């Protein structure tokens, strides 16, 4: 699964820690999602998308083979 979290964070100029605090997870969780080491739950994906005022599809996308 690919994601645009790093890009979205850069647009609004927030750190991983600021995003993590806003949605109630650790900075390590945000880092793991951004690097593709962790696939977020549906609830977490929805919280991230809502934070950026985007749809889940705008933030996350399946790669071929997923």
pLDDT, tens only, 34-51? 999 999 999 999 999 999
Tokens 């994906």 correspond to: 45
Q: How much is the pTM?
A: 0.92
Residue 60 belongs to a domain: no
pLDDT at 66 over 90: no
Residue 64 belongs to a domain: no
Residues 6+ positions from 7 with CB-CB distance below 8 Å: none
pLDDT at 65 over 90: no
Residue 13 belongs to a domain: yes
Q: What domain range includes position 24?
A: 2-54
Distance of CA 59 to the CA centre of its chain: 7
Residue 62 belongs to a domain: no
pLDDT digits (tens, 9 = 90+) for 5-20: 999 999 999 999 999 9
Answer whether 19's CB lies under 8 Å from 9's CB: yes
CATH of the domain at 33: 1.10.260.40
Q: Which two tokens stand for residue 5?
A: 């979290």
- pLDDT at position 8 is 98
Number of domains in the chain: 1
């Amino acid at each position: 699964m690919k994601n645009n979290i790093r890009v979205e964070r850069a647009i609004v100029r927030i750190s991983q820690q600021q995003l993590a605090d806003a949605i109630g997870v650790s900075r390590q969780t945000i880092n793991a999602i951004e690097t593709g080491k962790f696939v977020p739950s549906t609830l977490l994906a929805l919280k991230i998308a809502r934070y950026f005022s985007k749809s889940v599809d705008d933030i996350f996308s399946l790669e071929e083979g997923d």
